[in-house]
Structure formats: C-alpha cells, structure tokens
Amino acid sequence: MLEYDVVVVGGGPAGCMTAKYAAKEGVSTLIIEEDAEIGEPVQCAGLISKRAIEESELKSKSFINCELKGAIIHSHSHDVRIESPSPEKRAFAIGRSVFDKELAKEAQKEGADIILGSKVKRVKKRAGGAKLTISTTGKEEIRASVVIGADGARSGVAKMAGMKVTKNFLNCVQVEGEYEMDEAFAEIFVGKTIAPGFFAWAIPINEDVARIGLCIDKRFSPHPNPLLFLKRNLSEHPIIARKYKGSSSGSSL
C-alpha cells in the first residue's frame, strides 16, 4: 500500500499547482490523474489573462499561441469593439495541453509523484486521514493524511466526501480551423439562436487559425446538443460562415 502526506486528485492546473506547493513544503505528495496523459483530452477554449500566466510561475512561454489586443462583440444589430487599454490587461490564447504538462513538470521538480490512467473509486475516512481505492490495471489502495479534490466541477471526490456539487452545466463544443482574422481580437457572438443561454466565440491562435466554439444552457435551449448550433453557425452565420474555411480538429468542452 502506498502512503503519502497529500494526495491530489486531478492533474489540471489547480491540481498541479497545489501539488507543487505541497511538495515544496517537504511533504510527500501524489497527483492521481484519470486520463492517460496530462493535458489530454483538451477541454478548454484556452483563453487566459496575463495575471494567470504570471501566477503559473512558468519560465517557458512555449504554451502561448497568440496575444490578443481585445475583443469584438457581435449581436444581431450591433458590433462593439473593446480594445485592451494596455499590454498589462491583455489576454492570451494558449495551448492547454502544453500548459498543463509544464505545470505537471514543475510539480515533479519539487518532488511530487504522478500516477496516470487511474480513477479514484472510493475515499474512506480513517484515523489521521483517509484511504483511497484507485483503479489501474486492477485495484490499489493508497493512504493519505490529506486528500484534495481537484477533479473538476463534477468532482467525484467531493461527492464521496458528502459535499454538494454543481447540478447545472453548460454544454460546449469547439473546432479548430482556418479562419480569417483581420487583427488579433477575440470575437464573441451573442443571441438566443446562436448559443442559447451563453455565447459563441472565435479565438485566434495565429494569423490563419482560430478556435471556434460555443456553449449552451440546456434550460434555455430548444436542443440539448451544442453541436447542432455550431454546425449552423459555421454554415449560416453572416460573419462566422464567411470567415470560416474548414476545420482541422474538434472537441467537446
């Protein structure tokens, strides 16, 4: 049986940063990630602030795809252009897979261990901490003084601990493809026929390629599948359809 002072469930940015600082304090630390690879699959539009980049403490900036000057918001009747007042206030389109992997490496440098392809099946309280049962090729038990659930909005760890989790979620989808960008501005598209309950976007990652996606709130949508709205936007929206030239990849967020 493995034993750790701190076990962090989830190898995303929150989990990796938590593990990094735990290990930095000299306690034995483990990250458990259910996917076979840190950062995969990507479930993010990849748009973060300069402050978030600074707080990541990463020296390498290889994960940055594009620095954005601002955003253009498109409604049915108006367009509003919002330009960042200074470089300090700008946002960045990033490669989330690379970003997550770099954060995991930093946690490992401080001494944290990582187990991939393992899902926590059970968390049981015990004197002085908890006992986790994880599934790998079989079943394995891990003892921990502290268990931290960094496994997302649908956190299984939170549920096992008897905590409340969010019940309403946005359903999102995104493609990455060729898209005409005049400048390095994100585009936001609003309207109940475009993305009911939320909005659609086009985020440039270089001069010729953008991430085009949307989220919907099923409580306000005639259809629960966001892909139906995305396909319609790509083929019929007066701006998106004109600028969109074809996809190279897609993902559900």
The DSSP string of 175-232 is EEEEE--SSSEEEEE--TTTSTTS-EEEEESSSSEEEEEEEEEGGG-S-S-HHHHHHH
- pLDDT category, 120, cuts 50, 70, 90? very high
Closest residue by Cα to residue 229 from 205, 203, 197, 187: 197
- Better-predicted residue by pLDDT, 171 or 247: 171
Task: Give phi and psi for 86, each to the nearest 5.
Answer: -160, 160
Tokens of 235: 């083929």
* Pairwise CA distance, residues 194 & 109, whole Å: 45
Cβ-in-10-Å burial (0-12, 13-18, 19+) of 38 comes to: buried
In sign, the C-alpha dihedral spanning 157, 159, 163, 166 is positive
pLDDT of residue 253: 61
Measured from the Cβ of residue 229, the count of other Cβ atoms closer than 10 Å reads 23
Tokens of 83: 């330009």
Q: Mean pLDDT throughout 136-140?
A: 69
Per-residue HEC secondary structure of 84-103 comes to CCCHHHCEEEECHHHHHHHH
- pLDDT category, 97, cuts 50, 70, 90? very high
Q: Is the per-residue pLDDT at 89 higher than 90?
A: no
Q: Mean pLDDT throughout 57-86?
A: 94
- The arrangement of secondary structure in 67-93+168-252, i.e. its CATH architecture, is 2-Layer Sandwich (3.30)
Q: Mean pLDDT throughout 122-135?
A: 81
The CATH class for the domain spanning 2-46+97-160 reads alpha beta
Percent of the chain with pLDDT over 90: 78
Average pLDDT, the chain: 92
- pLDDT category, 136, cuts 50, 70, 90? low
* pLDDT 10s digits, 203-252: 999 999 999 999 999 999 999 999 999 999 999 999 999 999 987 565 65
- The structural domains of the chain, with segments of one domain joined by +, span 2-46+97-160, 67-93+168-252
* pLDDT 10s digits, 172-195: 999 999 999 888 999 999 999 999
Q: Token pair 């990094």 is at which residue? A: 20
Residue type (1 letter), 24: K
- pLDDT category, 102, cuts 50, 70, 90? very high
